[in-house]
Structure 1
């Protein structure tokens, strides 16, 4: 990583370069008098470290406004923010949100609509990966958060296991059927399973190729889209994996999952590109050099995670302008975005970073592969699904029906038909 230069750009020029509203760039005596002495940012690892890393840049702009970072575990953080928004108490000026929570939070009224003045986020729209911006847009058209990093989906695979099975990357990615067939050969040759859980097949397939304007489970006009050839194929491939005993039937983030990676018992994992960093840093550092990254099979592209910053509507009005300035600094400043990428594997949402030489550098954990170029292409091609108030319930329904198919042999058309009927009832609520 190249050394960071001190932030010496004049504050006014800096704010204008960031695309902030002119009224804020120039400031007024009244606004300065009302400005708070500190801003509170609520976050989780490693976003808390990224915010702290931006302190020198912030001090250059506002030496008299302290940044206070409140950090919790990701699950605790989102529970705390849910409580704070519902009670309108203990609200930070700015807080981080994981992508999965953006949809849930966006359907309420607790977050600022960033399209409105004085935020005017639409002026910055072209600076972000299109799908990330869309992820923060709710069905009412409100933009409730600004993206800072994204999770382009990728296929991570053990090159040593493929070699022992006499396979090459193309055998994995040419088609989904070919992916399953490659799994059979890998298991026969090495004993390793193809996937940690057959559900991984379903999770990727139902998210890939979503038509703009549609959601994962619900389409335009509140229609339910689960009883479809797209879902049937996802279920059929998951069932094929389970019938051939090509999965370990273990959940992500479990101890068995981690051991599977460390011992070479799991040949592939489809997840966000950030998983490569986790494997290198703490999940399976002993497997350094054995993994490679590829696009998902059959030309599929899917989002898997990402992070946003949001402003609570009921937060102290005196801090709103500065909170938005901080959010914009964190998400559009090229050097800060690249620093977060280089230090924390936070793949940038800001597209003006994508020409940086860092993307072309080899990744030792991936055997010297310049895999960031693979992930950059995926980030540019992903389509974001729209969110629906019943998405979380729909996910539970689909997972339950898939379990019935995998564990009890339930017929797939019946399973999807049952899911459709239940979701139609909920969609009307």
Structure 2
């Protein structure tokens, strides 16, 4: 869900919980048995309840909680069973259940960086086909997210639910302590070039106070390559070029300057 580009998956398909559940509801309704002729009263009208099991990881639960009550109120025959767990655990369980052909949830989140692993395991259907017909939502999606959810053979094997926007955060108080201007316009100008960024990073870093300008020099690569195509349309490597070498050089210079804390991404440190 970076989270960068989290996706939802069903044991035999990938569903966006906010949009595609409408398809799921229609499918459940279409498959529900009709009441016997002549049957009347509350017993005949009481719908059979269906439980939809959802796997995800913390952070997404806030999004779920924002609509669960309204969803269940509007669909009394459907109960959502939301199960949250650490990302790695969720991915491992989902891979194992797909490989075994049993035990997968109805809906699950997949981190976009790992979706190829799930496609390779099988169990994901083409959402462009019946009964999903997700192609009608294509024009409502950001093009690159739709491409990320598509396989090389043209199938839609995932359904995106966010675009993971990001921005630049900084501590005004620490900038001021380092004798640097702290207003957004000045900070933007100071950090608009790599030499300027590195100079600011050096002034902000103070190992004696356990303070570094960035978590890891690898962040330089991640923030520049995140959500970019690493291959061109012909599947040739698109990062084997001068710009990629330049980014690697920047990361090397940041590490040599001692401005990163040398902790991995998503670390609790």
Name the CA distance, whole Å, in 2 between partners of 1:207 and 1:44.
Answer: 20
Residue of structure 2 in register with 1:244 after alignment: 257
Shift of the 39–184 alpha-carbon distance from structure 1 to 2, 3 Å rule, reads closer
| Post-superposition offset of 1:143 | 1.6
Choose between structure 1 and 2: higher helix proportion.
Answer: 1
- Whether the 8 Å CA contact 1:206–1:234 is kept in 2: the answer is no
Consecutive unaligned residues of structure 2, counting only runs of 5 or more, are 1-18, 35-47
Name the CA distance, whole Å, in 2 between partners of 1:46 and 1:194.
Answer: 25
| Post-superposition offset of 1:148 | 2.3
Residue of structure 1 in register with 2:202 after alignment: 184
* Residue 77 of structure 2 is aligned to residue 64 of structure 1: yes
Shift of the 49–230 alpha-carbon distance from structure 1 to 2, 3 Å rule, reads same
* Residue 247 of structure 2 is aligned to residue 234 of structure 1: yes
Shift of the 61–163 alpha-carbon distance from structure 1 to 2, 3 Å rule, reads same
| Post-superposition offset of 1:230 | 1.6
| Post-superposition offset of 1:108 | 4.7
- Whether the 8 Å CA contact 2:49–2:77 is kept in 1: the answer is no
Shift of the 38–184 alpha-carbon distance from structure 1 to 2, 3 Å rule, reads closer
**Deviation per residue, 1:252-273 (Å, 9 max, x gap):** 3445x3xxxxxxxxxxxxxxxx
Name the CA distance, whole Å, in 1 between partners of 2:180 and 2:62.
Answer: 43
Residue of structure 1 in register with 2:107 after alignment: 94
Name the CA distance, whole Å, in 2 between partners of 1:254 and 1:52.
Answer: 26
* Residue 218 of structure 2 is aligned to residue 205 of structure 1: no
* Residue 37 of structure 2 is aligned to residue 46 of structure 1: no
Name the CA distance, whole Å, in 1 between partners of 2:57 and 2:50.
Answer: 23
Aligned equivalent of 1:170, options 188, 197, 200: 188
Equivalent positions of 1:261-272 (< 5 A) are none
* Residue 149 of structure 2 is aligned to residue 131 of structure 1: no
Equivalent positions of 1:27-426 (< 5 A) are 28=30, 31-33=31-33, 37-164=50-177, 165-167=179-181, 168-187=186-205, 192-207=211-226, 210=228, 215-216=229-230, 218-255=231-268, 257=269
**Deviation per residue, 1:142-187 (Å, 9 max, x gap):** 2222222332232221222223332332234422332112223334
Name the CA distance, whole Å, in 2 between partners of 1:124 and 1:254.
Answer: 36
TM-score normalised per structure 2 = 0.72
Name the CA distance, whole Å, in 1 between partners of 2:202 and 2:62.
Answer: 43
**Relative contact order, higher structure (CA 8 A, sep 6+):** 1
Name the CA distance, whole Å, in 1 between partners of 2:264 and 2:120.
Answer: 29
Shift of the 249–39 alpha-carbon distance from structure 1 to 2, 3 Å rule, reads closer
Shift of the 137–177 alpha-carbon distance from structure 1 to 2, 3 Å rule, reads farther
Q: Secondary structure at the match of 2:81?
A: strand
Shift of the 52–247 alpha-carbon distance from structure 1 to 2, 3 Å rule, reads closer
**Deviation per residue, 1:31-70 (Å, 9 max, x gap):** 2218763222222223345435433222244212222223
Residue of structure 1 in register with 2:43 after alignment: none
- Whether the 8 Å CA contact 1:201–1:238 is kept in 2: the answer is yes
Name the CA distance, whole Å, in 2 between partners of 1:44 and 1:128.
Answer: 23
Name the CA distance, whole Å, in 2 between partners of 1:166 and 1:156.
Answer: 15
Consecutive unaligned residues of structure 1, counting only runs of 5 or more, are 1-17, 258-429
Shift of the 46–33 alpha-carbon distance from structure 1 to 2, 3 Å rule, reads farther
